[in-house]
Amino acid sequence: DGGITQSPKYLFRKEGQNVTLSCEQNLNHDAMYWYRQDPGQGLRLIYYSQIVNDFQKGDIAEGYSVSREKKESFPLTVTSAQKNPTAFYLCASSIGQALGDSPLHFGNGTRLTVT
Amino acid sequence: DAKTTQPNSMESNEEEPVHLPCNHSTISGTDYIHWYRQLPSQGPEYVIHGLTSNVNNRMASLAIAEDRKSSTLILHRATLRDAAVYYCILGVYNFNKFYFGSGTKLNVKP
């Protein structure tokens, strides 16, 4: 079955450490996204990528970094510069026609806790 | 930025229809209207999307106002499994960007 896999489901880190969240898709989608969700809130866009080797900052990119070396993979690194990293992180993909009519497909998220 | 406005919460009885409203007064002529729903600790699930005409699928119907400044997601017979947070978002033409608001938390009573 095609889909998006995020791992791990739960992640714990000490403050000051960088951590990388994995996102892999086998849907052959061009566009991939990272969102952050805080309790009781909607989703906020961190980074998105429309094609391999290209990505753009979303609304809350500070303290995060990404890479897109392969079509299937879009890892997110939460750096020590991110002031409030504890959150639920969601990866998504879409066909990427840039027409606004391609539905998003989401993974089941990674819950990151930093203490 | 394209934005949407939804009520924070709604309640419905099981097996009754539910109409979830969304306002998007700044929508442009090429923005698509999408609806997703999310269960606790899961990723959002696609429900339906449309541009101008009303749309139907196995999950729901989408009614779009003639001026496109508002839309309504219709669940024809709510079940307990439909209890979730429903997000109305806009798919912006020429950008692969989607803006999520806080959504509407739907509670379904047995």
CB contact under 8 Å between A33 and B98, yes or no, is yes
Chain B CB within 8 Å of residue A33 CB? yes
Q: Give CA angle at B17 (B11, B23), nearest 5°.
A: 70
pLDDT 10s digits, A26-55: 999 999 999 999 988 889 999 999 899 999
pLDDT 10s digits, A47-69: 999 899 999 999 899 999 999 99
Chain B CB within 8 Å of residue A46 CB? no
End-to-end CA distance of chain A: 36
DSSP B31: P
Q: Which of A24-28, B96-100, B106-110 has the lowest mean pLDDT?
A: B96-100
Beta strand pairing call for A19-25 and A64-66? unpaired
| pLDDT interval class at B102 (50, 70, 90) | confident
CB contact under 8 Å between B44 and A102, yes or no, is no
Residues 6+ apart with CB under 8 A from A81: A62, A63
pLDDT 10s digits, A10-26: 999 999 999 999 999 99
pLDDT 10s digits, A83-108: 999 999 999 999 876 667 888 999 99
In this predicted structure, what is the pLDDT of residue A110? 97
Chain B CB within 8 Å of residue A92 CB? yes
CB contact under 8 Å between B93 and A100, yes or no, is yes
DSSP B5: B
When the pLDDT of each residue in chain B is averaged and rounded to a whole number, the result is 91
CB contact under 8 Å between B46 and A41, yes or no, is no
Query: What residue of B is the nearest CA neighbor of A111?
Result: B41
CB contact under 8 Å between A90 and B44, yes or no, is yes
One-letter amino acid for residue B86 of the chain:
Y
CB B98 within 8 A of CB B34: yes
One-letter amino acid for residue B82 of the chain:
D
3-state class (DSSP) for residue B80: helix
Chain B CB within 8 Å of residue A108 CB? yes
In this predicted structure, what is the pLDDT of residue A100? 74
Q: Give CA angle at B32 (B104, A49), nearest 5°.
A: 95
- How many CB pairs lie under 8 A apart between chains A and B? 73
Q: What 3 state SS string does chain A have?
A: CCCEEEECCEEEECCCCCEEEEEEECCCCCEEEEEEECCCCCEEEEEEEEECCEEEECCCCCCEEECCCECCECCEEECCCCCCCCEEEEEEEECCCCCCCCCCEECCCEEEEEC
In this predicted structure, what is the pLDDT of residue A91? 97
| pLDDT interval class at B1 (50, 70, 90) | low
- Scanning B39-58 for CB atoms below 8 A from A yields 41-46, 49, 51
Chain B residues close to A38, C-beta within 8 Å: none
CB contact under 8 Å between A100 and B42, yes or no, is no
Q: Which of A28-37, B18-27, B90-99 has the lowest mean pLDDT?
A: B90-99
In this predicted structure, what is the pLDDT of residue B29? 86
For residues B2 and B10, what is the distance between their CA atoms, to the nearest angstrom?
Answer: 24
For residues B104 and B22, what is the distance between their CA atoms, to the nearest angstrom?
Answer: 9
Which carries the bigger pLDDT value, residue B84 or residue B2? B84
Q: Which of A19-28, A90-99, B57-66, B83-92 has the lowest mean pLDDT?
A: A90-99
